[in-house]
A and B are shown apart, each in its own frame.
Chain A
Amino acid sequence: MLEVVFFSLIVLAGTGGELCVSRAMKQIGEVHDFRPTALIQVLVRALQVKWMWIGIGLMTLGFFSLLAILSFENVSFVVPVTALGYVAGALGGRFFLGERVNWRRWAGILLVCVGVTLVVIGKS
């Protein structure tokens, strides 16, 4: 039971956090100027967006869930869930950020999931 909680936290908090960071950056708008001073200004502005902090908080939660589950499970048992993060990310992109995920992108994402799973199996 505890595993299920931590697994869901890793996937949902980790991916959810990145989705929130993405939402914050969309609020900032497309960056055109890549000079160092301009980049610092972008970062400062990003830190004033509410979604940025929610994102950082969720990513931290996801990271500590990973550490927690690693304390009682093998890495090889844990890492395949990262593949699920890509599905969660696509769904979040579609419904939370309003992105248009067409069949081609879905096909690519599913290939990435299969590939990541093979990499994890191939490591152990």
Chain B
Amino acid sequence: MRESRFTRGQAATKLPKMTSHKRLHSKTYLLILVMIIAGPLGNLMLGKGMKNVGKITTEISSPSEFVHVFVRILSTGAIWMGIASLLTFFVAYMLVLSWADYSYVQPASAMAYLVVALLATLLLGEVVSPLRWAGIAVICLGVFVVGRTNPRTTENP
């Protein structure tokens, strides 16, 4: 830790633009990667967990029944993994927004559509339609174009 801080200080005097620029890019990419994996994974696990809980009848007649369903939800392991995954997503989102533009992060996180489709085919054995793949290809192209802009266009106070 100390050493990296030292090199950072040194870099600031020698190569101010290039080094900080590069670090900014790589930590932005890394956190967006965490977001696009943790988000869909969390939703998937929540979905699985809720299916394990079973169908919740639309009319929960008594408060005790409500508590019963609630306890059943909270005692499902997949639910907790889903919550942990979504929390990871949100923390990564907050962190990346502490330096990067929202108008950069929001479109870039649309790469999650690719992850969702991959999870659907590889883990759930679902068939993804050609039109959906085409849409995902267009999204990837869009993210590539956005990715070629500077992640931060404002000065931090």
Binding site for A on B (CB under 8 A): 1, 91, 93-95, 97-99, 101-107, 110, 113, 117, 128-149, 153-154, 156-157
> Which residues of A come within 8 Å of B, CB atoms?
15, 18-19, 21-22, 25-31, 34-35, 39, 42-43, 46, 85-86, 89-90, 92-94, 97-102, 104-105, 107-123
Contact assessment for A122 and B134 in the assembled complex, using a CB-CB cutoff below 8 Å? yes
How would you classify the secondary structure of chain A's contact residues: helix, strand, loop or mixed?
helix
Main SS at interface, chain B = helix
Q: Are A107 and B98 in contact (CB under 8 A)?
A: no
State the 7 A-B residue pairs at the shortest beta-carbon distance, nearest first. A118-B135, A111-B142, A93-B103, A122-B132, A115-B139, A122-B131, A108-B145
Q: Known: A94-B103, A118-B131, A123-B129. Contact between A22 and B97, CB under 8 A?
A: yes
Given known A-B contacts A29-B156, A31-B98, A105-B104, A115 and B146 have beta carbons under 8 A apart: no
- Given A25-B97, A115-B135, A110-B142 contact (CB < 8 Å): yes
Chain B residue contacts of A90, Cβ below 8 A:
103, 106-107
Docked CA distance A34–B31 (Å)? 11
In contact, B107 and A112 (Cβ under 8 angstroms): yes
